[in-house]
Structure 1
Amino acid sequence: MKKKNIYITISIFFLLIVAFLIFRPKSSGDNNEILGEVKSGKFKVEITTSGELQALNSVQVLGPTEARRFRVGNFTIEEMVDEGTVVKKGEVIAELDRTELFGRLEDKRLDLEQTQALFEQTQLDTALVLRQERDNILNLEYDVEERELVLEQSQFEPPAIIKQNENSVERAKRDLQQAKDRYRIKLMQERARMVEVSAKLRDVQTEVNQIEEVLEKFTVTAPQNGMVIYVWGRGGKIKEGSQVSSWNPVVATLPDLTSMQSITYVNEVDIRKIKMGQRVDLGLDAFPEKKLTGEVTKVANVGQQRPNSDAKVFEVTIVINESDPLLRPAMTTSNTIVAEEIEDATFIPLEALYTENDSINYVHLKSGKKQEVKLGLSNSNFVIVESGLQSGEVLYLSTPNWAENVAVNLLEELNGKRNPDFEEISASPENLTQLDTED
């Protein structure tokens, strides 16, 4: 009985093993086969890139460019608003160090005082000189009148006396005429002196006024509404304590936040698909819920190599249609450029596509065939199938177990149309031999 029980137990054990082998679940490879479907509908060729926001229009905020006329080579920024501050037209952005120009102003004011004193002294000298000349002329006129009276009273005197008096009158008249001529010359001389001193005084006064006007510009104000963005100088971004050259006195830039653009870079493989006027859908990394639209307005003709990358890229400018107070320069954008839209197309997932001999593209159909397909445009997820498949057909997105020993069902074209005589011909060696025989 014990032996019989042992045999029964062993038999049951073997039966269980056989049943397990027969009815065990399929292998993981069979269960993990992923299926997809051939779809029809609108197809978009999209290129996705990341970009950076910039203002479409921006104004440079300048320090006093006239300062170099007064031998001021550099400005030091004493105070400056924080970067990113939104300012209105006329509000203060920065205060520049006035020390050097103040020194120039004090020197010029001293020159002005000296020139003013010289002007006043010249005026007094001129008045005294011309007054003396006029007094001399007046005295000489009196002298001529007196000598003429003497001549008139000497009519009954001897001829010699009369002649002597006549000569005396002529001499007095000549002295008077010489005095008048000398006065005219003196007048011209003094006028010239006054013109010279007046011009010098005017020049010094103008310089003083100009320096005072330039000093007012050391308080830098916003020329328009916008956001303050620091510019890069020789030692990095300009900030408090930085020096700005008077030959390039850019203190900051003031972008107009109402019109923005995204600067992005497209690799050389996709740049042929990009054209001006294409629609772009944009998103903001900082505000994922914010959706914007834009348009490609500029495509670079020459590529460039970006840092830490071996691939060549081309700069593309996208103007954003909407205006939003949340938009800020240097924000990162996700750009989806719609390169082309096809209203009615048949397409499959890229995962379903395989290539043989670098020339034949095919898919694995659920019906058990490896079908060659003719491809059209593609995007990051799908590719258009121009021939070889029908909408609704089911295909594998992974390589099925039976695919290794099945030949590709090739396409043939005749006059631009698919030839039905070749649709079901397998690419096996037997069928190829049959075709050669029939030919």
Structure 2
Amino acid sequence: MTVTEKGQLDSLNNVTLTSKVKGYTTIISIVPEGTMVKAGDLLCELDSALLVDKEKQQQIQVTQAEAELKQAEENVAIQKTQNDSDNSAALLAYELANLDLEKFLKGESQRDINVKQGAITKAREDLQRAEETFEFSKRIAKKGYKNQNDVEADRINVVKAQIDLEIAKEDLAVEKDYVQKRKERELKAAVEEKERDQERVRRKGIATLAQYEAKLKAGQLTYEVESSELERFREQIKACKLIAPQNGQVVYANQDNGRRGNGEDVIEEGTEVRERQAIIQLPDFSLMKVDARIHESKISLIREGLPVDIRVDAFPEQTYLGEVDQVSSVPISSNWMRPDLKEYKASIKIVPNGADITKLKPGLTAEIEIRIEERDGVLQVPVQSVITIGTQHYIFVLGSDGEAVRRLIKIGQTSDTTIEILDGVQEDEEVILNPRTHFADQLIDLEEQMALERKEQAENQASGQAKRKSTKAQSSGKSGGKAGGQNSKKSSAGGASGFMKRLDKNSDGKISKEELPEPMRERFSSMDTNKDGFITAEELSKLRGKRPPSGGQRPSGGKRP
């Protein structure tokens, strides 16, 4: 059993050079196709003029971003030192305010009170001396040693000393009750304010530093982005030169782009290429393969390691040997003309068998024949001779009397051209090709019977009756009787009345189009001869009477398996 497909030759070790330039660019130089090159050779150069201009402009952006980043770094450093200075000054002011308060409470307050008390003591002493002087003046005045004016002056001095004493007392009271309390409150308030000011300075410094740090981070990101963009432009400029990664022969990657009316993307100087478009391939001709597409109906048969016979169209006289190397697990993207087509890519490795592999070139068309299974004594018939109705398979065999006989068969594996027969046909029997062409009415009748049987089975199961398995079609195939003989007798045993009874659901003596099984509705117009919209028993009898016998002479195209 084999599977045959078409494919294209390619190198097993094939390096493809693609355009890595964003968007579109133009080929300005390329080595001639077929040139043998070495690793490191320049193969193709793409237009980089626009990229060079962008690279220069980007360099300016990077320089500006770098300057802004440096300024942001310095601002952060300056702000950190400024915060330290401001915090130190606020702390010093707080400590000085505490010292002023402590100095007042422990020193200045008592000193000022002592001064006031000293003034009172001095005022008392002055008053006492004035009073003594006044008394002395009065005594000696009586003796005539002082005049009255001197006595009056001493009296005035006493009054003055009394006033000074009262003033000294009042100064002490004011000092204790007002001056001392006010100054204490002022100094305590100053301490509290310096403490709050210290916290404000600290928070203000943190906020300002956070702003500068945010600007620094933004500057770093901007610099990184601009530098990355500059590096990308430089890489793009570098990518405009395609260098050979290995030794090989230059093959242009001309390929069908799959768009109607656009033909091929021809690789040559002046051609516009897009990003990721293949431009050059460097195949290693010592190892070759065939890339083929396997239809989904056959992919289950293909596995790695199966032997393959390969015939190249350019060298039809030579057969190459190969084996299945890889089979894709997902289908290839469908073509826009056939979106429902599912195919899988298979890679066939060509193995040395004495044939000259060096003359093979990539792109040559080849036919592969994958040998799925090899067995002896397998009975096969052409695929054109087998018909499938439902789950059963039938074949028409030419009997010894020259009449065609329909048989139910059991099949095995299939290939593109033949089907394995497990039961129902003997070796050397002649089978008829394309039986639907020669026995259309008989096959339609068989399909109708099988449809009716399936319908009856469904109705019986729905009503809960005992299951009855119909064997009309099976017995007709297994009997091996002649298509026009025994089988035709079984089909006519029921007659037209039997069909009417099965199809006439409402028992009105006629059949409407809705009462017919789905496969028979297409023939309703031809069965309704009087065109009244119903089929009567008479019309059905005439139709069955006109049907030709199932047997017949051997049609042209008969072929032995």
Normalization by structure 2: what TM-score? 0.39
Structure richer in strand, relative to its length = 1
Larger Rg: 2
Q: Which has the higher helix share?
A: 2
Q: Which has the higher contact order (CA 8 A, sep 6+)?
A: 1
Q: How high is the TM-score relative to the length of structure 1?
A: 0.49
